[in-house]
Structure 1
Amino acid sequence: MVSTNYAPEHTGIGPYATGLAEHWAARGVDTHVLAGMPHYPSWRLDPAYRGRWRTTETRGGVTVHRRRHTVPARQTALRRALFEASLLAHQSVAPPRTPRPDAVVAQMPSLAGAVVAARLARRHRVPFVPVVQDLMGAAAEQSGISGGDRAAAVAGRAERYALGRATLVGIIHDSFRPRVEAMGVDPARIRLVPNWSHVARPSAAREATRARLGWAPDRQVLLHAGNMGLKQGLEVLVDAARLDPSVDVVLMGDGNQRTALEERAAGLPNLHFTPAADEADFPDVLAAADVLVVTQRASVLDMSVPSKLTSYFATGRPVIASVADRGGTADEVRRAGAGVLVPPEDPRALLDAARELAADPGAAEEIGARGPVYVDEHLSSAAGLGRLDDLLAEALDSGTTAHEGAARS
């Protein structure tokens, strides 16, 4: 597997790459991962890896090969390009020494990872299977950062190159299908492989967790957990906190927009920034909130399903999704019935939804309770990993290599 993100990162794509690799290793498969250095979601290099250019370690029965790369603290098109270029250069120049693989799997949206994986599969003449968690071209196109259009064009070419060489392509949501097909991928080679909920169920009493966190029992707490990037458009929560001092807003995590958000929130006593909870405490912290919030900018073409959403559903708390009405996130919230949809970048609409939930605790509990049911029925790890097992088995059975896929495309 080639995946820029991997454990110890415990949010975003990392947990899915880690879960899949460790699942294979537990089944007795000799599993190797080519990864970057841990840096997400803070976009700061994990102190344990400072000064290290290349490492090989064993985690959960998996051999993990890491290569150093730049880590841009602030996102611009140029810095993101340098990040991907440094990954591509180092992983290409110094690929891991492994036995000949039976197949190569890539976790996208990493452009470097997808290109390197396609090349490794072609070199060994084995099946290549990218799993599309997101597409960088679409994200760059709508990022709003300087040079986004040029970045989107470069990213699109890299994605087309990688996907065109795939034996089969996995997508985590059907909203990716038109974009992948537009890149020339035969619809017959696309398989739906939704992500799963990778967090444990809450175990501590909510009241005890709230007291430990300093959250007053008589105040409504709106919590956003995860990456604080451009795509999330978290300004809507800062503005909501300014509009209603009776509501506490908590932004938990890190990201390249945290400093700008802190500056925007200066002087707001009801808005709190907290570091990411550790993996064991994460479910209890989520469950201690009254409402869990997922946000995106109105301009974002929402094809993916944020990984935080699968975690939110597992806690039993109601979700407010401040996102475009048409897209992967909105579809998933509607399908689960575990949340409320409001227009993106509209703090008053977000507050109105929060007040309605606070005014009817019974209805809020009923909405939140649908989340764990949906997780059990559709987002179990057994189901998610089983779908990926089937995807890989089909690719292996097809006998089609990355070289043959490229020739066909």
Structure 2
Amino acid sequence: MKLLIYGLNYAPELTGTGKYTAQMAEALAARGHEVRVVCAPPYYPAWRIAPGWSAWRYSRETREGVGVRRAPLWVPAHPRGATRVVHLASFALTSIAPMLAQWRWRPTVVMAIAPTLLCAPTALALARATGATAWLHVQDFEVDAAFELGLLKNGYAARLAHAFERAMLTRFDVASSISPRMVERLIALGVDRARALCLPNWVDVQTLHPMGRASRYREELAIGAGEKVVLYAGNMGAKQGLEFLVSAAARLVGRADIRFVFCGDGVLREALAAQCARLPNCSMMALQPAQRLNELLNLADVHVLPQRADAADLVMPSKLTGMMASGRAIVATACEGTQLHRMLRGRGLVVPPEDEVALARAIERLIGDERLRARLGAAARRYAVRELSPDAVIERLERRLVVGAEPARSAPEVEATQTAGPVGDVAASSRGVHLTQ
């Protein structure tokens, strides 16, 4: 199979969509498939081009058996509203040429990754021109999130953006997303249920695992033996609601046994650092190397996953999988009925979003109850091993990719080769090939 992946973010980015896109491409290449990627130079989550890369030059390389073509893009210093749209549009325009150059390669599957949906027309056009299966994988519902978070406010722009989103989603042969609720959102936007597929993000449960010793970060951060660590590690952006976590830390400033550690990068990092500088129970860390991720995650006695209420079910935080694999207790903010709330039921504590009082109380409860921390952490770890291991998820993805690339097979023949998975029974392919999951 020849798979062409088209997305904004890719390795060596360490967080978010780029991490999962790269892992997917590399895993499929290792299984013997020909995989190419068209993407941008690394810039996320710092919102600046990584050292050694250029924002304005086309380039190509091979990473772990994957041919990577990079197209220029403009990265705003302060991504807000219109500047974010221009940022996304810049890549959508500059990447047209390297995408069309793949016409001679004749891919069998063209997979576009959203964000950004602005790249969808080019992916769809190339797929139609080459007879390839057109696949759209949605990591974030960027249109909804942009308006809910106030990044875009104009009513006419909202109607135009939603019309474009619906037009793109309904034209792809397969539309997938990372949680059952997000798949339901695809269907609500007009995707035929027979074309919708749930493909959850995965986690390497061999690399990320509970350690039988204290994390070396405790010594590096001068954390006392009697202190418990509340860790936030990830992107520092608008949808995280980190201001409520800082407020919770301020409420617990009198607890000498609790240390809050914020690790990551993003557009709000400087503002967050300024707030934390005024709190003696808070420490800041830069984004850490990938090879130290397990050490970092095991620093936590309690992981915290804050999320704005208006981002619920529009995004599924990618950092959650690593938290669960680490076997440490988790407290998250989510509304009842959301996918995040369901996923953590019995595996963590969940409090209402944007409620620093409830968040502080949940943190205190976990810090004060070692048995509860151990029980919830073990339950989260078991779920990660059972449902989110990369072998299981990539194998399901591979089956669907191969089937989508073989439209000549009959539906009964295809159905006989599929097995039920843990996420639901959704089907995919406009060519009349029904897939079960």
CA 1:56–1:306 in 2, change beyond 3 Å: closer, same or farther? same
Please state how far the C-alpha of 1:378 moved relative to its aligned partner.
Answer: 0.5
Q: Which residue of 2 aligns with 1:12?
A: 16
Preserved contact between residue 215 and residue 295 of structure 2 (Cα < 8 Å): no
Structure 2 length as normaliser, TM-score? Answer: 0.86
Whole-Å Cα distance in 1 between the matches of residues 162 and 383 of structure 2? 34
Q: Which residue of 2 aligns with 1:250?
A: 261
Q: Which amino acid aligns with 1:281?
A: R
Preserved contact between residue 333 and residue 350 of structure 2 (Cα < 8 Å): yes
Matched, 1:356 2:360: no
Preserved contact between residue 35 and residue 65 of structure 1 (Cα < 8 Å): yes
Preserved contact between residue 77 and residue 145 of structure 1 (Cα < 8 Å): yes
Whole-Å Cα distance in 2 between the matches of residues 95 and 200 of structure 1? 35
1:246-325 matches, within 5 Å, as 247-325=258-336
Q: Which residue of 1 aligns with 2:402?
A: 393
Q: Which residue of 2 aligns with 1:235?
A: 243
Greater Cα shift, 217-226 or 148-157: 148-157
Whole-Å Cα distance in 2 between the matches of residues 12 and 54 of structure 1? 23
Matched, 1:82 2:90: no
Preserved contact between residue 241 and residue 270 of structure 1 (Cα < 8 Å): yes
Q: Which amino acid aligns with 2:46?
A: S
Preserved contact between residue 49 and residue 55 of structure 2 (Cα < 8 Å): no
Q: How many residues get paired?
A: 402
Greater Cα shift, 52-61 or 176-185: 176-185
Whole-Å Cα distance in 2 between the matches of residues 102 and 169 of structure 1? 16
Whole-Å Cα distance in 1 between the matches of residues 239 and 154 of structure 2? 13
1:10-159 matches, within 5 Å, as 10-50=14-54, 52-95=56-99, 97-98=101-102, 99-145=105-151, 147=153, 152-159=158-165
Helix, strand or coil at the partner of 1:281: helix
Please state how far the C-alpha of 1:203 moved relative to its aligned partner.
Answer: 4.8
Root-mean-square deviation (Å): 2.2
Please state how far the C-alpha of 1:107 moved relative to its aligned partner.
Answer: 1.5
Matched, 1:184 2:190: yes
Please state how far the C-alpha of 1:208 moved relative to its aligned partner.
Answer: 3.8
Whole-Å Cα distance in 1 between the matches of residues 195 and 354 of structure 2? 37
Per-residue deviation, residues 302-341 of structure 1 (Å, max 9, x unmatched): 243211000100111000001222212112112xx32100
Whole-Å Cα distance in 2 between the matches of residues 401 and 96 of structure 1? 23
Structure 1 length as normaliser, TM-score? Answer: 0.92
The equivalent position to 1:326 in structure 2, one of 331, 337, 356, is: 337
Per-residue deviation, residues 198-235 of structure 1 (Å, max 9, x unmatched): 45325572254412332222122111111111111100
Helix, strand or coil at the partner of 1:95: helix
Helix, strand or coil at the partner of 1:97: helix
Q: Which residue of 2 aligns with 1:382?
A: 391
| 5+ residue gaps, structure 2 | 409-427, 433-437
Question: After TM superposition, what 4+ stretches of structure 1 lie above 6 angstroms from structure 2?
Answer: 400-404
Whole-Å Cα distance in 1 between the matches of residues 333 and 174 of structure 2? 33
| 5+ residue gaps, structure 1 | 405-409
